[in-house]
Structure 1
Amino acid sequence: MDSITTTDQSPAESELKETQNPPPINDLLDKAQPEAPVAHMVTGFSWVLVVISILTSTFLFGLDNTIVADVQPAIVNQFNSVNRLPWLSVAFQMGAASTTLFWGQMYSQCNAKWLYITCITIFEIGSAVCGAAPNMDALIVSRAICGLGGTGMYTGVLTLLSVLTVETERAKYFALSGMVWGLGTVLGPIIGGAFTSSAAGWRWAFYINLIVAAICAPVYLFIVPSLEPRPGVSFSKRFVEIDTIGTILLVGIYLSGLMAISFGGVLYAWNSGRIIALFVIACVLFLTFLGQQFWSLGTTPLRRAFPIQFFRNKALSIVFILECCTSTLTYIPVYFLPLYFQFVRQDSAITAGVRLLPFVIFLVAAILVNGFVMTVNSRYMPWFFASGALGLVGSALLYTIDLQTSNARLYGFSILIGTGAGFSLQLPFSVVQSLVPPESIPKAVAFVTFAQLGAPSVVLSVANAIYLNEAKNNIARAITTISGSTVTEILSGVGSATFVTLDGAQQQIILEFIVGGLNRAYILSMTSGALAVILSLFLSRGKMFG
C-alpha cells in the first residue's frame, strides 16, 4: 500500500507548553483528533484481517510472558540448573520492561509497519532459540530476546491502532487488545503445561510462536499500511535523536535491580556481597538516570527516554500511577493463585491454570464492557474508582485464605479482583491520547505501556521474594531436617518428589507456611487497590469527547 506520511515538525515547544500549562480539555480533544485520511485507511475485510493479525501478536506476547511458569520444572530437570531458575523470568522481564520507552521513541521516528515487522522478527528469533536451546545459558539469552521483541510488538500494535482508528472508536479496539493480551497472559501456564505433559515436549511451547507468525506474515507484509512519521529524513538522523544513553541506563537499572530482588534470600543471602553490590549498582544507575533525564544530557528535552514533561500534567501523572496499580491487580492473582491450587489442592499445572478461568472470564468481560461503554459515554473517572474499590476488596479477601478455604470462595474473590482490574487495564491508553497533541501519541502509548509492563516486573519480583523468603525461613525454623536448597526446590515447584516423601505432619507444616507466604503477596495488590481509589478522586469528572 502507499505510504502514509505525516508532517516532520518538531513538537518540542508545543508539547512542553501543553504539559506545563494544560489548556481546557475540549481544546485538547480538538487537537488530538487524528486526520481523516489516516484513520480508516484500511476498511472492510482487509481491516478485519489487520486487526486479527496484529492482535494475534499481542496474544503471543502475553502468552510468552507466563508460559514458563509450568515449563520450568521440565527445563530444570533437563539442564540440571535449579540455581539459575529465577533467570528464566528475570531475563524476559528485563528485556521487556527496560526497552518499552526505547520502542516508544523508535515508533515516533520510524515507519510503524516495518518497525513492527522488525520487532516480530526479533521475537520469533528469540522463540526459535528458546525451542532449540542446548543449555540453560542459551535459553536465558533467548528469553531476553523474546522480551525485547515482544514489547516492541505490543507497542507497535497500540501505535497502529492509535493511528488507524478515530478517537470515538479507539477505546473498543484497545479493549480488544487488552482482552487478547490478558487471555495470553493467563493461558500461558495452561498451554505451557499442556505441551510439557504431551509427547511434543516443552520446546514446542516456544516453537508454536513461529507457526502462528508465519500464518499472519502475509497480512503484516501486504495489508498493514505503511505509516511514515518523518518522510525524507535519513535513518542516521532519526537514530541520533534516540536517547541511547537513557535507554542503556534504564536497562542497567532493571537488570541489576531485578537480579538483586529476585536472587536475594533465594540464591544468595541478602547480606552477601553479590546482592549488596547489585543494589548499589542499581541505585547509582538510577541516580545517574535521573540526572541525565533532568538535565537532558546527551539528548534534548523532547528526545529524553522518559517523557518527564508528561508529569507536569496532573491527569497524565495520575493515570500513569493508576495503570501501575491496575497491572499489579492483574498479575498478582495470575502468578500466585495457581501456586495455591498446586500446593494445597495438589492440582496439576493444567488444572491449576484452568481454575483461573473465573478470573479470566470476568477480567476479559470487564475489559470489553469498559471499551464499548466508553465509545458511548467517555467519562473515565468512575471506572478507575470502581476498579480500585473492587481490586482492594478482592485482594483483602484473598489475603485471608487458608488451607480450608473452599474453591467457591476462591473463585468469588478472584472474580472481584479480575472485574476490578478489567475495568481500567486498557482505559489509560485512550485517556492519555486525549491529553496530548497528535504528534506525541507514540510517546503517550509508550508512557502507559511502561507502566503496564514495568510495574508488574518490579512488583512480581518483590512479591516472589517476599513469598520465598517468608515461607523458606519459617519452614527452615520449623523443620530442621530439610536442607535450605531442598526447601527452595519445593517452593519453586521443582521439588515435588521430595515433598511427597515427607510425613503428613511435615507436609501440613510446609503447606501452612506456603499459604502464609502466598498471602503476603496480596498486601501489594491491596495497597494498589487502595491507592487507585484515592487517586481516582483527583481525576476530572468530564468526558474525553462528545
Structure 2
Amino acid sequence: MAQEVSTQAVNPAPGEGQNRQAVLAAIGALLLGMLLAALDQTIVSTALPTIVSDLGGMDHLSWVVTAYLLASTAATPLWGKLGDQYGRKKLFQAAIVIFLIASALCGVAQNMPQLIGFRALQGLGGGGLMVLSMAIVGDIVSPRERGRYQGLFGAVFGTTSVLGPLLGGFFTQHLSWRWVFYINLPIGIVALLVIAAVLHIPASRTRHTIDYLGTFLIASVTTCLVLVASLGGITWAWGSAQIIGLAVLAAVLLVVFVYVEQRAAEPVLPLKLFRIRTFTLVAVISFIVGFAMFGALTYLPTFLQIVHGISPTISGVHMLPMVLGLLLTSTLSGQLVSRTGRWKVFPIAGTAITAVGLLLLHRLDESSSTGEMSAYFFVFGAGLGLVMQVLVLVVQNAVSYEDLGVATSGATFFRSIGASFGVAIFGSIFTSRLEDMLTDALAGRSVPSGVGPGQLAADPRLIAELPPALRPSVLHAYSSSITDVFLYAVPVVVVAFLVSCFLKEDKLRGSVTAPDPTETLASNPVHRSSHEEVARALSVLGSREGRRKIYEKITERAGYDLLPAASWLLLRIRRHGIVEPALLADSTLVPLRVITEAARQLEERGLARREGLDLMLTDRGMETAVRLAKAREDSLAELLGDWWGPERPTDLVQLVRELTAELCGSDQERPNGPQPRRDHSA
C-alpha cells in the first residue's frame, strides 16, 4: 500500500509521462508565449504618436494596429487545426520563431510601410501563440486542473491590459519606441528554450479538412473593406476607381466566401450559426464593442501626448482608469451572472454606458483636467466591461453542444474584425478632419518655412517650432480632430444598444456561467473545440466549489448522513482497494485527525473494516461509494443542461466520467518532501 500511495504522489496525473516539475516549467514557458502576444495588443498604443513622428505618416497610424489585428484574426483558426493535425509543440515553436523574427524586423523598420508589413507578420505569429498556448494546457494537465491553469492565462490578459500602456510609454520615453518590439526577443528566446527542453505532449493527432480557401476569402473581404474605410476620402476620393474597385471586389469575394462555406467540410465560419437569432445579434454587438474599444485605445494616447503634452509613460498612467473600469465591471458582471443566472441587463446597460462614455470623451479638449479625463475614461471602460463578459456566455448558451466551439470562436471573431474596422475608421475620420482643421487654424498666419498643415499632420513634433501664439489653435485642431471621432462612434454603439434589447433571456446552463477572461479580453478569436470548452468550464466550476463543498454536496445528493471527509475517504478506498490512514495523511493535504475521525465513522457504520493498519470497504461500503460517485456524475451532468440529453455525444459522457473519477477518486497529493501547511477544509 505504501508503494501505491508513493507512486501516485510522485506524479499526480499532470500529464502522461511527465512529472509535476516539467509541467510547471512548461506552463511557465506557455505563459511567456501568451504574454508576448497579449502584450503586443496594448504596448504599442502609447508608443504610436512617437512612432509616426519618427517614421512619418500620421495617416498610416491606424494600420500599425490594424495589420496586427487582421493577421492574427485570420491565422487563429488555422493554427488551431494545424496544431491538432501536426502536433502542437512544433507549431508553437514555429509561432514563437515567426513572432520573434517579426519583432526584430519591426524594431529596425525605417518607414511606415515596412513597419506595417512586419506588424502583419507579427500578428501571424501572435495568433499561433494565443491559440496553441491554451490548447497545450489541455494536453499536459488533467481536466480537473485545467481550469486552474487556464485561469493563469486569463490573468495574463488582465495584467497586460494594465501594464501594456505603461511599458509602452516607459520604453518610448526612456529608451526608444523600438524597444517596444525588442523586449519580445529575450522573453521569447527563454520560452523557446524551455519548451524545447521540458514540453512532452502525448502523441495524438486529429485529422482535419482545413478550410484554407475560406480563411483566405474572409481575410480578403475584411482587408478590402478596411482599405475602403481607411483610404476612402483621404488617399483616394470616395468616387475614385480604386475605392469603387475595392468595394466591388469585397462584394464579389463575399459571395464566393458564402458559396465556399456552404460546401466546406469544416468551414472557418459555419453559416448555419446565422440561423440562430441570438448568435446573429451577439455577432453584431461583438463587432461594435470591438469597434469602439480598440478605436479608443489607439487614439486616446495620441490625444494625451499631443494635445496635453503628456509624456508617453504618464499617458499610460492616464489610461489606467479606462482599463480598471473595464476589468472591474467585466469581473463583477461575470460573478453576478454566475450567481443569479440573469444576464440581459448587462449588454443593455453596457452599450448604453459605452455610448455615454463616448459622448463624454467627445467633450474633452486641451483644457480638460486630469480628474475629468480619468472620470470619462473610467465610464467608457466600465461600459465596455459590462457587455464584453456576457456576450460569450449568451452565445454559448444559445447553441447545441456540437456548435459550442465554433460559436464561441465566431462571436470572438466578430469582435476582432470590429476592432480592425474601429481602428481603421477612427483613423480615417481623424486624418480627414485633421488636415482641414490645421489648414483653417493656420489660414492667414505667418508660419516657419516648411511647417505647413501637411507637415504638422505628419509630424506632431513640429508644433514645438511654431510661434507661441499659433500653438493653441493647432493644438485645438488636433484635439477636435480626435474627440470628434468619438462623436461619430456614438450612433454605432446606439445600434448595439438597440440590438441588445432584442436578445432573448433564456435560462443559462450551469456550465456556461464560468466565463474565461481570454474569451473577453483577447483581441484574437478564441479557438477551442466543444469538448475543450466544456472541460475548461467544468474544471473551473469544480475548483471554485472547493473540496469540502463537493463532498458535502454529493453526500447529501446520495442521501447519506456522513462527514464530508468520510465520503472522501470512502471514495479513496474504492480507488485504491486498501488505505492506511497514517500513510494517507502523509501523502495528502488532509490532516491525520480528520482522516482518523472519518475512518472511525466508516467503521462504526459498517462501511469499512480494518485489517491491521489498513482499511478496506465492506460490500455495503462499496455500494455507498458507487452511489457517491454517481451523485457527483449527476451533479456535473446537471450543469450541462439540455446538452446532457438522451442523444448526448460520447465524448461528453467520457468527459463527465473522467472528471467524476478525478474529483471523487483522488484529491491532489503532494510529493515527498517538506510538509506544506495542511488544509483543514475536508
TM-score, length of structure 1 as denominator length: 0.76
C-alpha displacement of 1:410:
1.8
Q: CA offsets, 1:380-433, max 9 Å, x none?
A: 333323322322222222223333333222211211121222234344444444
Q: Give me the CA root mean square deviation.
A: 3.9
Give 1:462 deviation, angstroms.
0.7
Q: Percent identity?
A: 26
Residue in 1 that maps onto 2:215: 247
Partners of 2:47 and 2:312 within 8 A in 1: no
Q: Over residues 266-295 of structure 1, what are the superposed CA-to-partner deviations in whole Å (9 max), with x where a residue is unaligned?
A: 4444444444433333333233323433x4
Paired residues of 2:173 and 2:313 also in contact (CA < 8 A): no
Establish whether residue 283 from structure 1 lines up as the match of residue 247 from structure 2.
Answer: no
Q: Quick one: which of 475, 494, 499 aligns to 1:530? A: 494
Distance 1:485 1:249 in 2: 43
- Residues 162 and 426 of structure 1: is their aligned pair in 2 closer, same or farther, counting only changes over 3 Å? farther
Where do 5+ consecutive residues of structure 2 fail to align?
1-12, 511-638, 640-682
Q: In structure 2, do the counterparts of structure 1 residues 319 and 260 end up closer, same or farther at CA, with 3 Å as the change threshold?
A: closer
Q: Deviations over 1:170-211 (max 9, x none)?
A: 6x9877655533553564444233223334x33322121122
Separation in 1 of the partners of 2:342 and 2:83? 29
The residue type equivalent to 1:197 in the other structure is Q
Whether the aligned pair in 2 keeps the contact of 1:158 and 1:445 (CA below 8 Å) is: no
CA contact (8 A) 1:258 1:461 kept: yes
Q: Which residue of 1 aligns with 2:478?
A: 514
1:181 aligns with 2:167: no
| Change in 2 beyond 3 A, CA 1:287/1:187 | farther
> After alignment, is 517-526 or 40-49 more displaced?
40-49
Report what 2:352 is aligned to. 389
Query: Corresponding residue for 1:216?
Result: 191
Which structure has more relative contact order (CA 8 Å, sep 6+)? It is 1
Q: What amino acid sits opposite 1:487 in the alignment? A: P
SS in 1 for 2:249: helix
Mapping of 1:161-310 within 5 angstroms?
Answer: 177=153, 180-181=156-157, 183-184=159-160, 187-199=163-175, 201-217=176-192, 220-221=195-196, 226=201, 230-231=205-206, 233=207, 238=208, 241-293=209-261, 295-296=262-263, 299-300=264-265, 303-310=266-273
Per-residue deviation, 1:96: 2.2
TM-aligned CA deviation for residue 111 of structure 1 = 4.2
**Is residue 311 of structure 2 the alignment partner of residue 348 of structure 1?**
yes
Hey, what's the Cα distance between the residues in 1 that align with 2:120 and 2:427?
20
- Asked whether 1:128 is paired with 2:104, we answer yes
1:25 corresponds to which residue?
none
Unaligned runs of 5+ in 1: 1-36
Distance 1:129 1:426, change over 3 A: farther
Residue 313 (structure 1) aligned with residue 281 (structure 2): no
Query: Structure 1 539/180 Cα, relative in aligned 2: closer, same or farther at 3 Å?
Result: farther
- Note if contact 2:293-2:384 (Cα within 8 Å) is conserved in structure 1: yes
What is the rounded CA distance, in whole Å, between the counterparts of 1:42 and 1:385 in structure 2?
A: 47
> Which has the greater radius of gyration?
2
1:105–1:203: structure 2 CA closer, same or farther, 3 Å change rule?
same
Task: Mark the CA change 1:48 to 1:520 in structure 2 (over 3 Å): closer, same or farther.
Answer: farther
Residues 331 and 456, structure 1, Cα contact 8 Å, conserved in 2:
yes
In terms of mean alpha carbon deviation, does 467-476 or 455-464 score higher? 467-476
Map Cα deviations across residues 132-181 of structure 1 (whole Å, 9 max, x no partner): 446655433321111112123223355567887879996x9877655533
Alignment partners' CA distance in 1, 2:138 and 2:347: 21
Matched, 1:544 2:509: yes
Aligned-partner Cα distance in 2 for 1:377–1:48? 35
The one of 121, 126, 131 aligned to 1:150: 126
Aligned-partner Cα distance in 2 for 1:484–1:286: 45
Q: Secondary structure at the match of 2:351?
A: helix
SS at match of 2:183: helix
- Give, as a single letter, the amino acid of the residue that structure 1 aligns with 2:504: L
Q: Deviations over 1:87-139 (max 9, x none)?
A: 53343233123334444554665645554443333222221322344665543
Is contact 2:46–2:312 with CA below 8 Å preserved after alignment? Answer: yes
How many aligned positions are there?
A: 494
The more displaced of 40-49 and 421-430 is 40-49
Query: TM-score normalized by structure 2?
Result: 0.62
Q: Is the 8 A contact 1:101 1:450 kept in 2?
A: no
Structure 1 partner of 2:297: 334
C-alpha contact 1:53 1:216 (8 A) present in aligned 2: yes
